[in-house]
Structures are given as structure tokens and as C-alpha cells.
Structure 1
Amino acid sequence: MMILAFAGELCLIAALFWALYSLNRHATAPKAAVLVLGLALGFIAVTASMGASRYLGDSTLIAWHDWASYGSKTVAMPLYLCAVLWLWSPSGRWLALLFGLLGCSPVLGAPAMLTDLALVLALLRLIQCCAQKAVLVLALVALALVPLCALLPEPDLAMGLFHLALAVHFGLIAWFIQQQKAA
């Protein structure tokens, strides 16, 4: 059993639900982008739910969780940031599509690093064009901490901090979404 990894997954699930709740209450957003964003966040939440069961010892979900984790990283994460950029950077919508395609390209055999590049570029563009820069910079820092967790020698601690860094990222994005409502 990996208790810290399980706890990290629970934090991630909570942050994702907060982001979904924040988005759901955003009545002025275009419906197609909201749908893409909601589906991407929901898929990541389902993946985290499988991970929580896996880290409590349910070995039947290992293959499913591995598959869903790959889909979350290479499809859901780029689509989520593409939708956020589409919603709150109207002048950069063509960039949002480009970053989405670049981020999903590893599914077709491109290097996996292109997903990471697309995520960082999308967040940098969002930081550039939005007034709430501090929240987005912190979200970028949290996302940048995710791959560094793999360097930790203890697997339970590494996975726990990995998911906690993702939870902080999505919590900050939920806060950003709520700030956009008020603006």
C-alpha cells in the first residue's frame, strides 16, 4: 500500500472537482470550450480515482490506470490547457489549437517531450494575456514540480508529491477560473 500516493490522489480529485465546480458556475463561457474543458478535467479525475484504488492495493486496476494516465498526460492535459487558453485568451485561439495539436502529437508517435512543451507554452501565453498573472505563475511552478518528483528515491513519497503538485496546479486553475467570473 502506498498511503502518501493515495492521499495525493485524493487531493488531486478534490482540486479537479473544485475546478469543475468553478467552471460549471461560469455561465458566460462558450459551451464548446466548456465541454472540452469539463471532459478533460473529468477524465483526469477518473484516472485519479483509479490511481487512488491502485495505491490502496487494488492490483486489478494497474493496467487501466497506466492506460488512463497516458491518456491524461497526452490528450486530457493538452486539451484542458487548450480550452482554458481558448476561453480566456480570445486573441490567441489559433495558438490554443496549435498547442492542443502539439500536446497531443505523442499519441501519433512524436516525442513525449512535445506534450510538456505545449503545456508550458500554453500556460506562458495565458500568463502573458491575463491580468491574474500571480495565480497562473504559481500554477506553472506547480506543474513544473511534477516531473521533479520522479527524482525522489522513495516511490510512495514521489507519487504522493507528484499528485499533490498536480492538485496544487488544478487548485490554482480553479481559483483562476473563479477570478475570471468576477472580472
Structure 2
Amino acid sequence: MMILAFAGELCLIAALFWAIYSLNRHATAPKAAVLVFGVALGFIAVTASMGAGRYLGDNAVIAWHDWASYWSKTVAMPLYLCAVLWLWSPSGRWLALLFGLLGCSPVLGAPAMLTDLALVLALLRLIQCCAPKASIIAALLALGLVPLCALLNDADLAMGLFHLALALHFGLIAWFIQQQKAA
């Protein structure tokens, strides 16, 4: 049983639902972008719920969680950032599509690093075009912490901090959405 990993998954689920809730309350957001955002983050939340079961010792969900984790990283994350770019980048629709295709390309056999590259580039574009910048910069830094967690020797601590870094990223995105609503 991995208690810290389980707690990290719970925090991630809460942050994902906060981000979905925040965007759904944004009256001026285009419905298609809200739908893509919600489906992508909803899929990641389902994946996190499987992970919570896994880290409590339910071995029956390990294969499902591994499968869903792959699709969360290579499809849901790029689609989520496409939706964010679509919503807040002035000329972002074509760029959102480009980053989405780049991010999802490992599904077709491209190097997995292209997903990470697309995520970073999309966040850098948001930093370039959006105000206030602080929450987006912090969200990028939180996402940057995710791969560093693999350097830890304790699996429970590594997975717990991995999911907490993701939760922090999505929490900061929810905060950014709240700031956009107030503007």
C-alpha cells in the first residue's frame, strides 16, 4: 500500500474537478473548448481514481491504470492544453491544433518526448499572450517538477510528489481561470 501516492491521487482529482468547475462557470467561454477541456480533464480524473485504487492495493486495476495513464499523457494532456490555448490565445486556434497534433503524435509512433515538448510550448505561448502571467508561470514550473519526481528512490514518495505536482499544476490553471473570469 502506497499512502502518499494515494493521497497525491486524491489531491489531483480535487484539482481537476476544481479546474473543470472553474471553466464551466466562465460564461463567455466557447462551448466546444469547454467540452474538450472537461472531457480531457475528466479522463485524467478517471485515471487518477484508478490510480488511487491501485495505490491502496487493488491489483486488478493496475493494467487499466497503466493503459489510461498512457492515454492521459499522450492524448488528454495535449487536448487540455489545446482547449486552454483556444480559450486564451488571441490567434491560438491554429497554434492549438498544431500543438495538439504534436502532443498526440506518439500515438502514431513518434518519440514520446514530443508530448512533453508540445505541453511546454503551449504553456510558453500562454505565458507570452496572457495576463496575469504569474499563475501560468507557476503552472509551468509545477509541470516541470513532474519528471523530477522519478529521481527519488522511494516509490511511494516519488508517486505521491508526482501526483501532487500535477495537482498543483491543475490548481494553478483553475486559479488562472478564476482570474480570467474576474477580468
Normalising TM by the smaller chain, what interval?
Answer: over 0.9
Question: Aligned AA for 1:61?
Answer: V
- Name the structure 2 match of 1:161: 161
| Residue correspondence of structure 1 range 44-83 to structure 2 within 5 A | 44-83=44-83
**Cα deviation 1:23-65 (Å, max 9, x = unaligned):** 1101111111110000001000000000000000000000000
| Residue correspondence of structure 1 range 1-183 to structure 2 within 5 A | 1-183=1-183
Q: Which stretches of structure 1, 4 residues or more, deviate above 2 A after TM superposition?
A: none
Question: Aligned AA for 2:41?
Answer: L
Aligned partner of residue 29 in structure 2, secondary structure: coil
Aligned partner of residue 90 in structure 1, secondary structure: coil
Aligned partner of residue 38 in structure 1, secondary structure: helix
Aligned partner of residue 111 in structure 1, secondary structure: coil
Aligned partner of residue 91 in structure 2, secondary structure: helix
- RMSD across aligned positions (CA): 0.5
Contact kept in structure 1, 2:143 and 2:166, CA below 8 Å: yes
User: Whole-Å Cα distance in 2 between the matches of residues 75 and 11 of structure 1?
Assistant: 22
Contact kept in structure 1, 2:82 and 2:100, CA below 8 Å: yes
User: Whole-Å Cα distance in 2 between the matches of residues 10 and 137 of structure 1?
Assistant: 24
**Residues matched between the structures, number:** 183
**Cα deviation 1:57-95 (Å, max 9, x = unaligned):** 000000000000000000000000010000011312211
- Offset of 1:145 from its aligned partner? 0.4
User: Whole-Å Cα distance in 1 between the matches of residues 54 and 85 of structure 2?
Assistant: 33
User: Whole-Å Cα distance in 2 between the matches of residues 91 and 101 of structure 1?
Assistant: 17
TM-score, length basis structure 2: 0.99
**Percent identity among equivalent residues?**
90
Unaligned runs of 5+ in 2: none
User: Whole-Å Cα distance in 2 between the matches of residues 87 and 163 of structure 1?
Assistant: 26
User: Whole-Å Cα distance in 2 between the matches of residues 132 and 107 of structure 1?
Assistant: 34
Contact kept in structure 1, 2:90 and 2:129, CA below 8 Å: no
